[in-house]
Every structure is written in structure tokens, then in C-alpha cells.
Amino acid sequence: MSGSGTILDAIVRCGVPVALVIADRPCRGLDIGNEAGISSVLVDRGAFGGFSATFDRDAYSVALAEVLADHAIDLVAMAGFGTIVTSALHDRFPGRVLNTHPSLLPSFKGWHAVADALASGVKETGCTVHVATEALDDGPILAQVVVPILDSDDESTLHERIKLVERVLYPEVLTRVIANLSDGHEPASITLSS
């Protein structure tokens, strides 16, 4: 977690089993976890160089992987997590790190996906749940939902409409992935209707 925690809140409210909340900086997500009785841990970037050019991304990723392993986590669901992690985490949880992104990947990767979609002039965007990999926003897609871009949209209104869809889509995908893992299957593409 790094942001406001609205997606985490939706995940918890939908009954998805959450064993641990981790944040890379103080944020509302930690409060949501604590209020729900979920173990919540701050693995602060500050101890690894913060947001400076000296940030040690690999050491941070190792520390994050250790916390997850110490809590016996099987599946990692990123939601607004603001730090790009290295193979130190992905190798420890191969194919088991999921992410939600506010665009229809592979279009509009990165931090400014909503602004980039608006600037491009496309008529629709949406959200994608995918397996996170070391390459940013590049892993196998599990599910997508289209969100039309309205003439009246600005970055804030469009992003909020995408978040409304994410708050439904991500818990649904997580529920199905957890069921697949319980049955001995790896995460696979999931088709959901919008």
C-alpha cells in the first residue's frame, strides 16, 4: 500500500482473506488493516534511501520478501503500492504477485496511465488485473474491464470511475485466484463480464 487504501477497503469488505497489509510509507491502508484486525507492517522506503537517487531497490525488495515470508504469505496482491520491486521479490513469489492498473494494458503503462489515456484521445480505457513481473505493468493479464472516456472527464473524474470498477474487479479476481490456488492451479486468465 502507498495510497488511500480504497481498493484494500473493498477487498476486505468483499471478504477476501487478507493475512497481512504492508506499506512502503505511512498511509491510510495501514489504518484500514489495523481497523480490520489484520497484521499491518510498514516497510519504510526511508531506511533504504527513501525517494532519492540512492534508494536501494534490491535491498528494499529483499526486506519486503522477508516480511512476506515471515508471515507465510502465498499470494501478494498489490494495490496502490508505490515502489517497483526487483527479482528479489518476484523470484521468491514466482507468478504469485498480482497488481491492478488503471488502464487496459498493454496500453498506458506506468504512473500516469489515466493522464496518458486522456492525452492520447482514445475513447475508452479501463483497468487491468495482471500478474506483476519485474518489467513494469507487463505481466500476464488476468482480467480487464473497459471504462469509457467521457467528453466531460478530467484526470480526477476518470480515475475515480476507474477505481469504482477496480473495487469490484480486483476482489473478484483475487477470490477466483485463491480458489484456483487452493485447487492446486496457478493464476490463470479469468473472464469477467462488466
Positions annotated as catalytic residues are 101
Q: Cα 176–183–95 angle (5° rounding)?
A: 65
Residue 76: name the closest of 135, 8, 14 by CA: 8
Residue 117: name the closest of 148, 141, 145 by CA: 148
Determine the 3-state secondary structure of 124 from DSSP.
strand
Distance CA 148, CA 89 (A): 35
Distance CA 3, CA 80 (A): 6
The two beta strands, 124-131 and 20-23, are unpaired
Instruction: Judge contact between 82 and 51, C-beta under 8 A.
Output: no
